[in-house]
């Protein structure tokens, strides 16, 4: 049965044990409920994203700075 679900025998046995003890709730992934201590705060992610956009995308959003230089050069020639 474990192969059918693409898991090893040990993992499959754990699923069976958890189902027998807790029912369907026992099959919910416990890791999804726990927040990681390594996760960065949302404000920090937003700030880093903005810095990246300003540095690499500049005023013409979606066009990297390196490509923008080539485009501007072609337009003036």
> Does the pTM exceed 0.95?
no
- Mean pLDDT throughout 43-51? 87
Give the three-class secondary structure for 24: helix
Q: Is 46 exposed, middle or buried (0-12, 13-18, 19+ CB in 10 A)?
A: exposed
Q: Report pLDDT for 17.
A: 94
Say yes or no: 46 and 75 in one domain: yes
Cα 9 to Cα 28: distance, rounded to the nearest angstrom: 19
Q: Which domain holds residue 16?
A: 1-34
Say yes or no: 44 and 74 in one domain: yes
Say yes or no: 45 and 76 in one domain: yes
Give the three-class secondary structure for 43: helix
Cα 33 to Cα 44: distance, rounded to the nearest angstrom: 22
Say if residue 69's pLDDT is above 60: no
- % of the chain surpassing 90 pLDDT: 18
Question: Domain count of the chain?
Answer: 2
pLDDT, tens only, 2-39: 888 888 999 999 999 999 999 988 888 776 666 666 77
């Amino acid at each position: 049965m474990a192969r059918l679900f693409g898991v090893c025998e040990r993992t499959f046995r754990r699923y069976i044990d958890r189902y027998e003890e807790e029912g369907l709730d026992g099959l919910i992934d416990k890791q999804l409920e726990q927040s990681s201590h390594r996760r960065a705060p949302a404000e920090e992610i937003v700030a880093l994203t903005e810095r990246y956009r300003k540095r690499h995308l500049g005023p013409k959003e979606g066009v990297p700075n390196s490509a923008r230089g080539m485009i501007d050069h072609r337009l003036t020639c």
